[in-house]
Structure 1
Amino acid sequence: MSISASEKPLSKVFTSDYRFAIPAFQRSYSWHNAQMKQLIEDVMDACAVHDGPYFLGSLILVHDEHGMHQVIDGQQRLVSLSIIFSVLLTLEDDPQLNASLAGLLTEAGDKLRGIETEPRLRLREQDEEFFREYVQHGDLEALFDLRDTDIATQAQRNIQVNTRCAYDILASMADDERRQFASYLVNDVMFVIVTTDDISGAYRIFDVMNMRGMPLTPSDVFKAKVVSGISSAARTVYARYWDDIMEPMGDENARIERFFADLDLIFTRTPICESLIVDFTDHVLDKYIRKGQCIEFIDDVLRPYAICDEILRRPGESLLPREVIDLLAGLADYPYDDWKPVALWSLVHTLNNLNDPDTVVFARSGRGGARVSLHDSDRLVQILTALDRVTGIDCLNGKSELDRRTRAATIVRDLNKGMPLQRIAGFSVSGDEQRLAMLHLRGELSIDAGMRRLLLIRANEQLAGERITRPRSLNAVPIIPERVSPGSQFASWPAGACDYWAQRIGNFVLTQKAPRYLDGVDDFDARRNLIVHNVSSQRFPLTRTLRDLETITPQFLQLRQKQIIDLIAQAWHIDYEDVIIAEQQAMVEARAVGADHRSKRTSKRVSVAEVVRAGLLKPGERFVWNRPRKHETWTITVAETGFLGEDGTEYATPTAAARAVGGASVSLNVWKRESDGRALSDIWKAYRAMM
Structure 2
Amino acid sequence: MTKKITGAEYPLSKIFSSEFEFVIPSYQRPYAWTVDQASELLDDLVAFHEAEGEEGYFLGSIVLIKSDGAPLSEVIDGQQRLTTLTILFAAIACAHDAANKDELKPYILEPGKKMEGILPKPRLSLRARDQGFFTKYIQNFNLNQLMDLDSSSLNNESQRNIRANAEYLLAEIEKRFEAPDELEAFVTFLLTRCFLVAVSTPTQESAFRVFSVMNSRGLDLQPTDIIKADLIGQIKGESSQNQYNEKWEEMEIDLTRGGFNDLFSYIRMIYAKEKAKRSLLEEFRAHVLPNNPDPRAFIDDVLEPFAGALNDIRSASFVATQHAETVNQYIRWLNRIDNSDWIPPAILFLKKHRGKPAQVARFFKLLERLAAFMHVDRHNVNDRIEVYGELISEIEGGARPDDMIQLNFNVKECKQFRAALDGDIYKLTPRRRNYLILRLDSFISDGAATYDPKILTIEHVLPQTVDDGSEWAEWWPDAEERERWVHRLANLVPLNKKKNSSAQNYDFAEKCKIYFSGTKNVSSYALTSQVISQTDWSPRTVRARQKKLVNVLMENWELD
Q: Per the shorter chain, which TM-score range?
A: 0.7 to 0.9
Counterpart pick for 2:22 among 17, 20, 36: 20
Distance 1:326 1:227, change over 3 A: same
Q: 1: distance between equivalents of 2:217 and 2:380?
A: 34
Q: 2: distance between equivalents of 1:519 and 1:141?
A: 34
Contact 1:518 1:527 in 2 (8 A): no
Q: Secondary structure at the match of 1:250?
A: helix
Contact 1:459 1:568 in 2 (8 A): yes
- 1:33-432 matches, within 5 Å, as 33=34, 37-38=36-37, 40-45=39-44, 47-49=46-48, 50-51=51-52, 52-62=56-66, 68-86=72-90, 92-100=95-103, 104-107=107-110, 118-137=121-140, 138=143, 139-141=145-147, 143-147=149-153, 151=155, 156-161=156-161, 163-164=163-164, 167=167, 171=171, 175-176=175-176, 187-195=192-200, 202=207, 206=211, 209=214, 214-231=219-236, 232-252=238-258, 255-272=259-276, 274-288=278-292, 290=293, 293-315=294-316, 318=319, 321-351=324-354, 374=355, 376-432=356-412
CA offset at residue 303 of structure 1?
1.6
Q: Secondary structure at the match of 1:545?
A: helix
Q: Does 1:530 align with 2:529?
A: no
Contact 1:18 1:69 in 2 (8 A): yes
Q: 1: distance between equivalents of 2:189 and 2:459?
A: 39
Give the match for residue 537 of structure 2. 552
Contact 1:134 1:143 in 2 (8 A): no
Distance 1:246 1:431, change over 3 A: same
CA offset at residue 106 of structure 1?
3.5
Q: Secondary structure at the match of 1:69?
A: strand
Matched residue pairs, number? 535
State the identity %. 24
Contact 2:40 2:381 in 1 (8 A): yes
Counterpart pick for 2:418 among 438, 443, 456: 438
Distance 1:335 1:235, change over 3 A: same
Deviations 1:124-180 (A, max 9, x none): 333322333454443433553434xx62xxxx3233146436745874787126958
Q: 1: distance between equivalents of 2:379 and 2:151?
A: 26
Q: 2: distance between equivalents of 1:574 and 1:173?
A: 35
Distance 1:56 1:483, change over 3 A: farther
Q: Does 1:499 align with 2:483?
A: yes
CA offset at residue 344 of structure 1?
0.8
Query: Which AA in structure 1 matches 2:276?
Result: I
Q: 1: distance between equivalents of 2:549 and 2:194?
A: 42
Q: Secondary structure at the match of 2:387?
A: helix
Q: Does 1:569 align with 2:551?
A: no
Q: 1: distance between equivalents of 2:319 and 2:507?
A: 42
Contact 2:503 2:515 in 1 (8 A): no
Q: Secondary structure at the match of 2:424?
A: coil
Query: Which AA in structure 1 matches 2:440?
Result: A
Query: Which AA in structure 2 matches 1:37?
Result: D
CA offset at residue 29 of structure 1?
1.5
Distance 1:524 1:75, change over 3 A: farther
Distance 1:130 1:428, change over 3 A: same
Distance 1:312 1:561, change over 3 A: same
Q: 2: distance between equivalents of 1:115 and 1:224?
A: 52
Q: 1: distance between equivalents of 2:186 and 2:515?
A: 46
Distance 1:146 1:426, change over 3 A: closer
CA offset at residue 53 of structure 1?
0.7
Q: Secondary structure at the match of 2:198?
A: strand
Q: 2: distance between equivalents of 1:187 and 1:531?
A: 58
Q: 1: distance between equivalents of 2:284 and 2:40?
A: 22
CA offset at residue 277 of structure 1?
0.8
Q: 324-333 or 236-245: which moved more?
A: 324-333
CA offset at residue 441 of structure 1?
3.0
CA offset at residue 305 of structure 1?
1.1
Give the match for residue 9 of structure 2. 7
Structure 2 unaligned regions, length at least 5? none
Q: 2: distance between equivalents of 1:248 and 1:39?
A: 36
Contact 2:31 2:79 in 1 (8 A): no
Q: Cα RMSD over matched residues?
A: 3.9
Q: Does 1:540 align with 2:540?
A: no
Distance 1:55 1:427, change over 3 A: same
CA offset at residue 239 of structure 1?
0.8
CA offset at residue 114 of structure 1?
12
Q: Secondary structure at the match of 1:538?
A: coil
Deviations 1:304-349 (A, max 9, x none): 2111111111215756622212222222232222221221111112
Deviations 1:558-615 (A, max 9, x none): 333322322222233334xxxxxxxxxxxxxxxxxxxxxxxxxxxxxxxxxxxxxxxx
Give the match for residue 442 of structure 2. 461
Q: 1: distance between equivalents of 2:490 and 2:331?
A: 27
Q: 2: distance between equivalents of 1:559 and 1:171?
A: 37
**TM-score, length basis structure 2:** 0.81
Contact 1:43 1:54 in 2 (8 A): no
**TM-score, length basis structure 1:** 0.67
Query: Which AA in structure 1 matches 2:159?
Result: I
Q: 2: distance between equivalents of 1:519 and 1:9?
A: 53
Query: Which AA in structure 1 matches 2:458?
Result: A
Give the match for residue 478 of structure 1. 460
Contact 2:66 2:200 in 1 (8 A): yes
Contact 2:318 2:324 in 1 (8 A): no
Q: 1: distance between equivalents of 2:373 and 2:314?
A: 22
Q: Secondary structure at the match of 2:493?
A: strand
Give the match for residue 450 of structure 1. 431
Distance 1:256 1:545, change over 3 A: same
Q: Secondary structure at the match of 1:496?
A: helix
Q: Secondary structure at the match of 1:70?
A: strand
Q: 2: distance between equivalents of 1:554 and 1:461?
A: 25
Distance 1:209 1:343, change over 3 A: closer
Distance 1:297 1:206, change over 3 A: closer
Q: Secondary structure at the match of 1:298?
A: helix
Q: 1: distance between equivalents of 2:117 and 2:205?
A: 35
Structure 1 unaligned regions, length at least 5? 352-373, 576-691
CA offset at residue 62 of structure 1?
2.3
Distance 1:80 1:502, change over 3 A: farther
Distance 1:279 1:201, change over 3 A: closer
Distance 1:45 1:538, change over 3 A: farther
Q: 1: distance between equivalents of 2:67 and 2:291?
A: 50
Q: Secondary structure at the match of 1:192?
A: strand
Q: 2: distance between equivalents of 1:412 and 1:550?
A: 50
